[in-house]
Amino acid sequence: MKRIAVIGAGQAGASLVAKLRALGFGGEIALIGEEPVPPYQRPPLSKAYLLGELAQDRLFLRPESFYADQEISLHLGRRVDEIDTANRRLRLGETTLDYDALALTTGSVARQLPAAIGGALAGVFVVRGLADVDAMAPEFQPGRRVVIVGGGYIGLEAAAVAAKKGLDVTVLEMAPRILQRVAAPETSDAIRALHQGHGVRILESTGLERIEGEDRVTGVRLSDGTRIDADFVIVGIGILPATALAETAGLVIENGIRTDAQGRTSDPHIWAAGDCASFPHRGGRLRLESVQNAIDQAELVAENMLGAGKDYDPLPWFWSDQYDLKLQIAGLNTGYDRVFVRDSGARSHWYYAGDKFLAVDALGDPRAFMLGKRLLEQGRSPDPAALMDPATDLKALLRA
């Protein structure tokens, strides 16, 4: 194999090319990204970077010199217009680039509100890339009014930053509760109370009729007719896998770019990893939106591109920083029917399906997160009564 090309210069793409070199691949490597900056961390964008506590160069995963030293060709600010699968060739404007193997690490795109209801007005922002956050940062001035559409992690993290900066913050959530898609009511209740304690107004079961304004936002109209004045609006209603390029190349799409257990797509010369990829998982298919998945899956794909033949079977984990609280999650709570609360000064919520332990939400409790993660790795399901007893040493549950 003479050249491996990687489309998508985010966390997954950066991890994949670094792993190829670490494994001793001596051929050409090309990393192509639409943004004009080297690969960077996304989680701090809506937290430390937006707060002004982190300089832009500290976002970068590696200095640009790393790629030159490793003889990785960076093509930044470049868009791939077409994948010619028959000839294994990429078209980037007027130029082309041949490949022997290709990896798609195109990530995801933010869901937008329709222009017909004001989604294209000036002063409406999403939180996805560096340019998005740079564009909205000047709006974060004390006393200004922001309406955040969406009570998921991205919206709530932005709300926390806005509240810390002294803004008047309203969060709209169409579902009956914030975090409904990803967390139990117990976790929603704790996070709601945290935000309300910082002066954030949270409106649940509340639909958005439209964003109002001529050229720029002046307010939002709710589905019940209520109007809320707003200086700007942040839309945090989820993300979609970036599959447009893969679709036009004829790859199979199934909640993302469909791969086998080793990361290979329906084209034997093309692989996929990160937010854009869906893979077989315990009888179904799974697509994970997390930094850890982007790293782990991309590194495994790098191994498999060089012939390792390994299947991907992750134990997912996630985190969210809001104010001074770190929410850490291990496992997937899909299918849970019971939640047990452990309160030993710090809180953790343990998800079960019948007698099987599925996941844990640790709210400012890193010990519960680490022990829960280890229990999941070992396939253990501790006695819920022991979990709920604050006198129980969690480490003892690993030996039970």
- Residue 213 in domain: yes
pLDDT at position 46 is 85
Q: What is the DSSP letter of 36?
A: S
Distance CA 17, CA 9 (A): 10
Collapsing DSSP states into helix, strand and coil, what is residue 305?
A: helix
Round to the nearest angstrom and report the end-to-end CA distance of the chain.
50
pLDDT in tens, 180-199: 999 999 999 999 999 999 99
pLDDT computed for residue 173 by the predictor: 98
Does position 72 have pLDDT exceeding 90, yes or no? yes
Q: Which of 209, 232, 255 is the last residue of a domain?
A: 232
Of the candidates 358, 110, 125, 374, the residue with the CA atom closest to the CA atom of residue 237: 110
Backbone angles phi, psi at 310, to 5 degrees: -100, 140
- Of 252, 278, 305, the position where a domain reaches its end is 305
Distance from C-alpha of 258 to C-alpha of 303, rounded to nearest angstrom: 19
314 found inside a domain: no
Domain residue limits at 142: 112-232
Is 135 domain-assigned?
yes
Between CA 209 and CA 225 the distance in angstroms is 8
Question: Among the three residues 232, 247, 266, which one is the final residue of a domain in this structure?
Answer: 232
- Please give the average per-residue pLDDT across 39-49, as a whole number: 92
Whether 312 maps to a domain, the answer reads no
Q: Is residue 164 assigned to a domain?
A: yes
- The answer on 146 and 209 residing in a single domain is yes
Kindly state whether residues 105 and 243 are assigned to the same domain. yes
The overall average pLDDT reported for the chain is: 96
CATH code of the domain containing 384 = 3.30.390.30
pLDDT of residue 275: 97
3-state secondary structure of 285: strand
pLDDT at residue number 217: 98
Helix ranges, the chain (H): 11-22, 48-51, 64-69, 130-136, 153-164, 185-197, 244-248, 291-305, 366-377, 384-388, 394-399
Q: Stretch 6-31: mean pLDDT, rounded?
A: 98
Q: What is the pLDDT of residue 1?
A: 82
Q: Is 182 left (phi over 0), alpha (psi -120 to 50) or beta?
A: alpha
| Percent of the chain residues topping a pLDDT of 90 | 95
Residue 357 pLDDT exceeds 90: yes
H-helix or E-strand spanning residue 237:
none
pLDDT at 396 over 80: yes
CA–CA dist 238, 226 (Å, integer): 24
Share of the chain above pLDDT 70, in %: 100
Flag whether pLDDT at 400 surpasses 80: no
Burial environment of residue 263 by CB neighbours within 10 A (0 to 12, 13 to 18, 19 or more): buried
Q: Shortest CA distance to 172 belongs to which of 222, 229, 118?
A: 222
User: Are the C-beta atoms of residues 53 and 160 closer than 8 Å to each other?
Assistant: no
Average pLDDT estimate for 137-141: 96
pLDDT attached to residue 349: 98
Residues 265 and 353 in one domain: no
Q: Averaged over 106-127, what is the pLDDT?
A: 97
Given a cut of 90, is residue 179 above it in pLDDT? yes
Is 232 within 8 Å of 246 (Cβ atoms)? no
Q: Where are the alpha helices (DSSP H) in 102-233?
A: 130-136, 153-164, 185-197
pLDDT band at 399 (very low <50, low <70, confident <90, very high): confident
pLDDT value at 108 more than 80: yes
Contact 33, 76 (CB under 8 A): yes
pLDDT of 287-332, one tens digit each? 999 999 999 999 999 999 999 999 999 999 999 999 999 999 999 9
User: At 208, phi and psi to the nearest 5?
Assistant: -100, 125
Q: How many domains does the chain have?
A: 3
Interatomic CA distance for residues 331 and 114, integer angstroms: 34
What separation in angstroms does the CA of 125 have from each of 8, 13, 103, 193, 206? 22, 26, 30, 26, 20
Triad 255, 260, 261: Cα angle to 5°: 110
